[in-house]
Amino acid sequence: MTTQSKNIALYLAIIFVWSLSWLPLKYQVASIDPPISVAYRFLAAAILMFAIALIRKEPLKFNFRDHIKFIALGLCIFSTNFVLFYYAAYHLVSGILAIIFATATVMNVINARLWFNTKTNRQTLVGIALGLFGLCLVFLPEIQASASHTPLLGLAFAIGGTFCFSTGNMISLKIQKQDISLISASGWGMLYGGIYMAAIGLIFGMPFHFDTSWTYIASLGYLIIFASIVAFLTYLSLLNAVGPGRAAYTTVVFPIGALLISTFVENYQWTIIAAIGVIIILAGNILILKQKS
């Protein structure tokens, strides 16, 4: 398989898995506190990731400095990112969450500038402006339809989660530049993220009970195996192969699939303004990703 074919396969796999993952996330917030659900998810995912590392004979012993990076990775991508989206899911349909996550393209450009001094040209700035304007249009009908500030609260949670995800992208790039095994780094990151969420649950007195309903178990299983292990390993591999800006191209496509799912499953009501906003967001992302550098 050529490099280009491999990258296309990685793109398609991520788009398929992440298009479906937002709905299971919605089912996770019905009966369990979000930090506890996130702890269950990533502690289980860490065990599976370590098992994969052992089978592949990947190294699992690292020095103190490496573990500091793994902790940072866990706090950004494998805990805080998701718990913020879980709280956002109380206030917004899953498709809208995916649209907000599409701004990862914008945040990756900004973070790449801050972390790696990557130059930002005029085309990129126009793309960023379009993305932010489109997001405002998407949320305008939500705000108008609500008598409270609930949509804005959901927006704040989701933007915070997306920023954590983007920051985790930069940490992952730094780790991979050291030729550290992607599987090993992800396993440790998931473990630290799960422990962090469990600690938050203990500190705030959240009950560690388990929902035995089939919707909770099925959604948790999907999020552990596919959204956490398969998708993240695929995404981080793509991140290393094509860079943070182009890797975020996946966010151009899967929000459309997620919104279509929300339309049929969660009765999301499309408006002309929201549809125009989605198109503008995607156009802004494409403009950013078309730059030569």
Per residue in 57-88, pLDDT (tens digit) is 999 999 999 999 999 999 999 999 999 999 99
Q: For residue 220, with 0-12 CB atoms within 10 Å meaning exposed, 13-18 middle and 19 or more buried, which class applies? A: buried
Strands (E), the chain: none
What was the pLDDT predicted at 150? 78
Domain count, the chain: 1
For the ranges 66-80, 167-181, 219-233, the one whose mean pLDDT is highest: 66-80
Neighbours of 11 (CB within 10 A): 21
Does the predicted model carry a pTM greater than 0.85?
no
Does residue 135 lie in a domain region?
yes
Taking the C-alpha atoms of residue 129 and residue 251, their distance in angstroms, rounded to an integer, is 17
Residue 51, domain extent: 11-289
Is 1 part of any domain? Answer: no
- Which residues have C-beta within 8 Å of that of residue 70, sequence separation ≥ 6? 62, 175, 185, 188, 189, 192
Whether residue 232 contacts residue 49, with contact meaning beta carbons closer than 8 Å, is answered with no
Distance CA 73, CA 239 (A): 14
pLDDT digits (tens, 9 = 90+) for 108-137: 888 888 888 777 777 777 877 887 788 788
Amino acid at 101: F
Query: Can you give the pLDDT at residue 242?
Result: 78
Q: Is residue 44 part of a domain?
A: yes
| Domain presence at residue 43 | yes
| Residues with Cβ within 8 Å of residue 8, at least 6 apart in sequence | none
Question: Are residues 29 and 84 in contact, defined by beta-carbon separation less than 8 angstroms?
Answer: no
d(CA 23, CA 94): 6
Average pLDDT over residues 242-268: 75
Centre a 10 Å sphere on the Cβ of residue 29 and count the other Cβ atoms it contains: 16
- The answer to the question of residue 122 being in a domain is yes
Asked if residue 293 has pLDDT above 60, the reply is: no
Instruction: Give 114's contacts (C-beta < 8 A, 6+ positions apart).
Output: none
- The answer to whether residue 121 sits within a structural domain is yes
Our CA angle for 271, 277, 280, nearest 5°, is: 145
Residue 4 falls inside a structural domain: no
- Cα distances from 6 to residues 1, 10, 214, in angstroms, run 6, 6, 36
